[in-house]
Chains A and B, each alone.
Chain A
Amino acid sequence: MTEPNGRFSQWLRGETDLFDEARSLILNQDGVPPADPPKKKPKRRKTGAMLHRRYTMFHILFVTSCILLLALLLSAVMDLPTFGDPYAPSSNEVSDRYVADGLEETGALNAVAGMILDYRAFDTFGESTVLFAAAISVLFLLQHRTDSHRHAFAPVTTNENDLILQTAVRISFPFILMFGSYVVLNGHLSPGGGFSGGAVLGAGLILYGAAFGREGLSEKLPPERTSRITVICLLIYAALKCFSFFTGANHMAIEIPKGIPGAILSSGFILPLNICVGIIVACTIFNFFLLITEGDD
């Protein structure tokens, strides 16, 4: 029987070294590893004792105050009424009335939607105003200036070679819009409503804007138009709610038809208000995205 002549058998017999080739690639001629290139130490600028990593008085006080805050809050939480107690003071006759008479008085199957858009619609108006104020502040802070001419929305960067993203967006964008509209329109019948649907629509628009850039947007949805749409929808919301205040305060019993519970066109003003809020939230979120991405510094 001839002796096996593979490299492993040769190594077993002590004739060759298995790691010859690899070693010649790594080591020098002398057989020692090459010296490391000298590491450049970043120069520490002496800009003040605050920036050095030492445990100063600040760190000690910081940890102590956080632990104190934690202990205080925990001792307060232990004395709260038990979680899930049906006789807790937070569920009183107000919430019973909202659930029991909600369907008759507002016509909405979703008690939360009926509460925030009918019983407590003024709070929702305040919240839309907060969203609007944030949009205006971001607009002022991030205006794009070219020399002396100041305009709000600069060109968004385009990605010409992002074929995968563009194909995927072309397929999924209609479905995202459809789902967002479904959530907005069914706000009074099932979980959802203006805010959730508006956020889904806004996220879909951000996806479209990120994939197609300014050229894709300017034909379908010019960015200057979304600000106008936001303002118009906010005014429509205010007009609808002013109508309710006016007729209620003057005891004019102008009944808005409640419709059949369970139908889409029911519950008085809740459907138009949901649509307004959904459009406001979608356009505001899309505006935030457009303002933050600009073409060049």
Chain B
Amino acid sequence: MILLQCLLLLGLIVCAASLPFIKRLLTTAIVFMAYSSIMAILWVMLESPDLAITEAAVGAGVTTVLFITTLSRIRELKGVDDDDRT
């Protein structure tokens, strides 16, 4: 059990650490959704099922959908985070 928790925490840190370095913005939204889902599993391991349902519905459901909707709204869905794009 402790090993599984340590592996999931390591997965969380890897997901979060990769976010500043991803170029495409759609990929950051999807990695954020994966981060939220791993967090929901961790809530179950901490014996809080209320938080697990809420985080799964809100983090992986609503927040990611709002991100992708915003990106498609400003037509930056294929946008690349580039410093010297004019």
Chains A and B touch (C-beta atoms under 8 A apart): yes
Number of interface residues of A (CB under 8 A): 27
Number of interface residues of B (CB under 8 A): 20
User: What is the bound-complex CA distance between A288 and B65, given in angstroms?
Assistant: 11
Q: A43-B86, A53-B83, A203-B57 are in contact. Are A289 and B50 (CB under 8 A)?
A: no
User: What is the bound-complex CA distance between A150 and B70, given in angstroms?
Assistant: 21
Interface: B27 (CB within 8 A) = no
| Closest chain B residue, CB of each to CB of A204 | B61
| Closest chain B residue, CB of each to CB of A50 | B83
B interface, over-half SS: helix
Task: List chain A residues, Cβ under 8 A from B72.
Answer: 293
B59 to chain A, nearest CB (A): 9
Query: Which B residues, 4 to 50, have Cβ-Cβ distances below 8 Å to chain A?
Result: 48-50
* A interface residues with partner B (beta carbon < 8 Å): 42-45, 51-53, 110, 112-113, 183, 191-193, 195-196, 199-200, 202-203, 206, 285, 288-289, 292-294
* B interface residues with partner A (beta carbon < 8 Å): 48-50, 52-54, 57-58, 61-62, 65-66, 69-70, 72-73, 83-86
6 CB contacts below 8 A, A to B, read A42-B85, A52-B84, A110-B50, A196-B53, A203-B61, A203-B62
Give 9 new A-B contacts, CB below 8 A, not counting A199-B57, A294-B73. A43-B86, A45-B84, A52-B84, A183-B53, A191-B50, A191-B52, A195-B58, A206-B65, A293-B69
